[in-house]
Copies of this chain bind each other. A is one copy, B any other.
Amino acid sequence: MRRFKGYIFDLDGTIYLGDHAIPGAPETIAALRAGGARVAFLSNKPIEPASSYADKLSKLGIPATPADVLNSSIVMARYLARTAPDARVYLIGEEPLAEELRQRSITMTEVPREATHVVVSWDRQFTYKKLDDALQAIKGGARFIATHPDRTCPVPGGEVADVGGMIGAIEGVTGKKVELVTGKPSPITVMEALTMLDLSAEDCIMVGDRLETDMRMGREAGMATGLVLTGITGREQLESSPIRPDYVLGSVADLVDAADLVNLADPAK
């Protein structure tokens, strides 16, 4: 397998499953870094700050800082700061997204008619009032954009309603489709990840467990793609899908040779 300058990893299903690291993941990341590769971690989940992911990864044996992590809240805040720094945002979303917007000096408003953008994200405090405010803002000309497209989020024992509900509610009252989704598989997420790594697409591989988001996004961006079979996708779905990753990996551990892992385990050798 070719060595890349940059490795962009999905998190849940790829690096860890719930609260457990995928066996071999810490050693693999360490080996890649030891070989000079740059590593970024990518999640569509907007309801926790980058520092939470960095802490979790570090606890699982993968040292990480918030600067190594990109989630859909960060991508949205960076996108707005780049393209619409004077935006006045009516936000349907939780505190970590609000905090990302504040950090980039994006103005938020509670007054629908003042809003230039309705930014929609996963919001467990979503109410009828927020829905009606979004309707009034969009009728007044505000853009309708969302952080990510996920219908549901996996949780132990099942799944819970995700941003798909908030997007669907607003589409349902406005009769308009969401104009832009910045999270995976949007190329906006790829651009932010490449900027973070300071590398170009052809030097990077996207590694993840989902064909429709991770693999599709990597392919469309011109990156190599590596599907891991530790998450949502099994060999059966892979065979029936039109999306063909460049590499199919039993797990993230297959990214490096066993020899590299041994050397790392005992740096004296």
Contact = CB atoms under 8 A, between A and B. Distances in A.
Contacts of A173: 151-152, 161-162, 164-165, 168
Interface in A45-101: none
Contacts of A159: 135
Contacts of A175: 151, 164
Interface string A117-145: 00000011111100110011001000000
Nearest to A133: B161
A214 to B, nearest CB: 19
Nearest to A152: B173
A42 interface: no
B160 A172 contact: no
Contacts of A132: 160-161
A166 interface: yes
Main secondary structure of the interface of A (DSSP, over half): helix
A170 interface: yes
A159 B138 CA distance: 12
A167 interface: yes
Contacts of A139: 158
| Residue from A124, A127, A128 having most chain B Cβ neighbours under 10 A | A128
A136 to B, nearest CB: 8
Q: How many copies does the complex hold?
A: 2
B152 A135 contact: yes
A172 B139 CA distance: 21
| Residue from A127, A136, A151, A165 having most chain B Cβ neighbours under 10 A | A165
Interface string A247-258: 000000000000
Interface of A: 123-128, 131-132, 135-136, 139, 151-152, 158-162, 164-175
Given A126-B131, A131-B165, A164-B173, 9 more contacts: A126-B127, A135-B165, A139-B158, A161-B173, A164-B172, A164-B175, A168-B168, A168-B173, A172-B172
17 contacts: A126-B127, A127-B128, A128-B161, A131-B169, A135-B159, A139-B158, A151-B174, A152-B173, A161-B173, A162-B173, A165-B172, A165-B173, A167-B172, A168-B169, A168-B170, A168-B173, A169-B169
